[in-house]
């Protein structure tokens, strides 16, 4: 298994955290990982993206030009990264914020109202976690339980409410994809 993932959106959407979450999950499961963040100087409200690679074998280079998966959380990211996904790859789109589709027939495209689902989970800022839940359900890239453990480590000491909302967001994202027609 060798997955190259780009996650992209506005600063403040938790793009970098989502990539780290995947990288730590892969690492905790004994895989080789890389994580490289990229963001504009304005941070919140500016553009942000990261690349995460999870592989069963050593990773030769951390550069991702043609991702096997892209998670896009805003329209500019859709325009930039949807065309780059490899044929037979996966594109996860936050349809709460992005109205258009990629128009590609050579990839699997999942339009999920991540921001709306996050609000339903009790934390509107957790659209990134909804998208990770969707990715896990669609690909099995990491174990769902591994990500729950990492969320507990991250938020458990600070706030049980934030932790519970993130766990709900992760589950709702996964459930959304599992209910889609095959």
How far apart CA 172 and CA 68 sit, in angstroms, is: 23
pLDDT the model gives residue 44:
58
pLDDT the model gives residue 175:
97
Say yes or no to pLDDT of 155 above 90: no
5, 52 Cβ separation under 8 angstroms: yes
Q: Which residue has the tokens 């690909």?
A: 139
Fold category of 2-178 in CATH:
Pyruvate-ferredoxin Oxidoreductase; domain 3 (3.40.920)
Give the tokens for residue 43: 């941070």
Identify the sign of the CA torsion 123, 129, 134, 137.
negative
Say yes or no to pLDDT of 158 above 90: no
Using 50, 70 and 90 to split pLDDT, how confident is the model at 17? very high
36, 62 Cβ separation under 8 angstroms: yes
How far apart CA 128 and CA 57 sit, in angstroms, is: 27
pLDDT the model gives residue 12:
84
Q: Per-residue pLDDT tens for 21-76?
A: 999 999 999 999 999 998 766 555 667 999 999 999 999 888 889 999 999 999 99
Domain segments of the chain as ranges: 2-178
Q: Which residue has the higher pLDDT, 86 or 162?
A: 86
pLDDT the model gives residue 181:
84
Using 50, 70 and 90 to split pLDDT, how confident is the model at 142? very high
Q: Per-residue pLDDT tens for 90-134?
A: 999 999 999 999 999 999 999 999 999 999 999 999 999 999 999
Q: What SS3 class is residue 162?
A: helix
C-alpha 11: how far from its chain's center? 14
Q: Residue 8 gets which letter from DSSP? A: E
Q: Which residue has the higher pLDDT, 145 or 38?
A: 145
**Other CB atoms within 10 A of residue 94 CB:** 28
């Amino acid at each position: 298994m060798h997955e190259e993932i780009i996650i992209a959106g506005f600063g403040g959407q938790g793009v970098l955290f989502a990539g780290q979450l995947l990288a730590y999950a892969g690492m905790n499961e004994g895989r080789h990982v890389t994580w490289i963040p990229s963001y504009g100087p304005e941070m919140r409200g500016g553009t942000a993206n990261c690349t995460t690679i999870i592989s069963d074998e050593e990773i030769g280079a951390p550069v991702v030009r043609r991702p096997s998966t892209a998670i896009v959380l805003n329209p500019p990211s859709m325009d930039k990264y949807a065309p780059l996904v490899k044929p037979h790859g996966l594109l996860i789109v936050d349809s709460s914020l992005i109205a258009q589709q990629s128009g590609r027939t050579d990839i699997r495209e999942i339009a999920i109202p991540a921001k709306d689902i996050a609000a339903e989970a009790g934390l509107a800022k957790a659209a990134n976690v909804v998208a990770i839940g969707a990715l896990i359900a669609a690909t099995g890239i990491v174990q769902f339980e591994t990500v729950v453990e990492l969320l507990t480590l991250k938020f458990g000491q600070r706030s049980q409410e934030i932790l519970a909302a993130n766990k709900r967001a992760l589950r709702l994202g996964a459930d959304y994809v599992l209910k889609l027609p095959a």
